[in-house]
Amino acid sequence: MEIWLNPLLDLAKRGHEIIRTNVPKPGVANSLRNQCYEQVYEHQLRSTEKAREGNQVSTISGNEDETSFGGGEKTSGKRRQDDADDFGEFDTSHGKISDWQAGWNVTNAIQGMSLVSLPFSVLHGGYYGLFSLVLVAYICCHTGKILVDCLYERDETTGKIVRVRDSYVEIAQVCFGQRYGGKIINAAQVIELVMTCILYVVLCGDLMVGTFPDSVIDMRSWMMLCSITLIPCALLKNLQSVSTLSLWCTIIHFVINAVIFAYCFMQISEWHWDKVTFEIDAATFPTCLGIVVFSYTSQIFLPSLEGNMSEPAKFDDMLDWSHIAAAICKTVFAYVGFLTFGDATQEVITNNLPTRGFKALVNLTLVVKALLSYPLPYYAAAHLLEAIFFKKPPTEAHPEGEGPQPFTSMWTRDGEYRVWAVALRVSLVMITMFAAISIPHFALLLGFIGSFTGTMLSFVWPCYFHMYLRWNDLDTQTIVWEMSIICIGVFFGVTGMYSSFIGLLDVGMVETVTAGIVTDESI
């Protein structure tokens, strides 16, 4: 195959050079990434060559596109892209995706379960909480663009703009160093993914208690029961088995949000207009900012998403309209939800619904949504931990697995998990369950995660990376703006983590005292 492919590729290159030098191309923005879009023919040709290389049975050492992954593993360009795809919230197994499909995936990522807690942020922040929903959307849209811009560099030999990186991790390896860059980002990603799993378990318990308030089963028991249904996740080898369910689950979630919208507007005559003020609860508002930041976090998926778009020149426009749509939806939902329930607004807005049957229908649907959403972050976290600590599948030459990782491969020669590997994966489900039982407060936990990993992944690191790689090309205004974003991110992060931690301590003390009183009364 390679014998007759090479002449065709050479002919295509010569023909392309003739076209490129004689056909004028429209001007674009000054960023390196936008300049790269002028070289669409080069990009398509490289994609063809990369696909050809990925299909070769044998390769010559030194010609492979290699990069360090996580703890130092060397992987080919094809494997690297596969790893990135595994962590994405989009299906790229069937080729390139359109800008509409990309926008759907971004919208899906930032219109998640955190939406049900946004009215709670208005309760503690008033109009400032609504303003933060718009500001954070604008900042995250900007940092998403500059993060993807960091994937591109100018080739010193040819002067062309080329995509030299494929992931958040590879950017970090350049800016933080090859030794620690990948580890820092992977650690942040694992923390966020595992904490997201914990959030889904907490949300299930919260919703079940709200649905059956008079039941003898308490919140922690509901969490344990829901976690039992999640144990089969330990057997997941890929996400194909849950992708269809996840799609329908997302559609159902949008329908439920529309139903809540409709209910709130039906109560318009009883809205609490005077309850929304310009006052801030300094003790709790930083936690609410963390909730807002978490609700917009999608940066970790954007490099792979842009790389799989059929028309990457539309990436900026796609990011603009998806964040504008999200900002409008979230702001209106938070505002209308708080106007409907006022000071009685709970951490999860659906628990405010008055009719038991209606509330049960909505809550149980959201429980199913949470349970079906759990496999994605769980699989991504387990896959990432496996890539860092465990060798790749064994071969005849390497019966314990290939790679520099410290532990034996989790796979057998026939492509099945080893027994102890299944036990480890089940233990990860159990860890999320025990953590949820220990911290059964959805809004506080959500705010802590957003303040911890959310601000770093979405605010601080993208701006730092962009200035590190583009310092000589940036104007003063851009530098000042990106430094301001870093300062905002650090402020949100520090105050949010402190506020959430104090809130968790206070709630824990109240629960301890309450448990003591109940024990005394029973005696």
CATH number of the domain bearing residue 327: 1.20.1740
* The total number of structural domains that make up the chain: 1
DSSP state of 94: T
Close Cβ partners of 92 (under 8 Å, ≥ 6 residues apart): 85, 304, 308
Does residue 124 sit within a domain?
A: yes
pLDDT tops 60 at residue 520: no
Exposure class string for 460-480: b at 16+ Cβ within 10 A, else e: bbbbbbbbebbeeebeeebee
In this predicted structure, what is the pLDDT of residue 33? 62
Residue 206 included in any domain: yes
- Segment 308-348, tens digit of pLDDT: 888 888 999 999 999 999 999 999 999 999 999 999 999 88
6 in a structural domain: no
Residue 36 included in any domain:
no
25 falls within a domain: no
Task: Report pLDDT digits (tens) over 225-284.
Answer: 999 999 998 888 876 665 666 677 778 778 888 889 999 999 999 999 989 988 888 888
Residue 513: domain span:
65-522
Nearest to 33 by CA among 444, 466, 374: 466
Distance CA 267, CA 354 (A): 12
Band of the pLDDT at 106, cuts 50, 70, 90?
confident
* Domain-located, residue 76: yes
- Convert the pLDDT of each residue in 52-65 to its tens digit: 444 443 333 333 33
Q: Quickly state the pLDDT bin for 69 (edges 50, 70, 90).
A: very low
- 165/18 Cα distance (integer angstroms): 28
The angle formed by the CA atoms of residues 402, 405 and 409, to the nearest 5 degrees, is: 55
Query: The tokens 């992931």 sit on which residue?
Result: 167
392: β partners = 402
pLDDT of residue 37: 54
Higher pLDDT, 69 or 127: 127
Q: Which amino acid is at 55?
A: N
Tokens of 334: 């938070």
Query: For residue 207, is it within any domain?
Result: yes
All residues at 6 or more sequence positions from 114 whose CB lies less than 8 Å from its CB, including other chains: 291, 294, 295, 446
Distance CA 43, CA 162 (A): 8
Answer yes or no: is 362 within a domain. yes
The span from the CA of 342 to the CA of 275, in Å, is 6
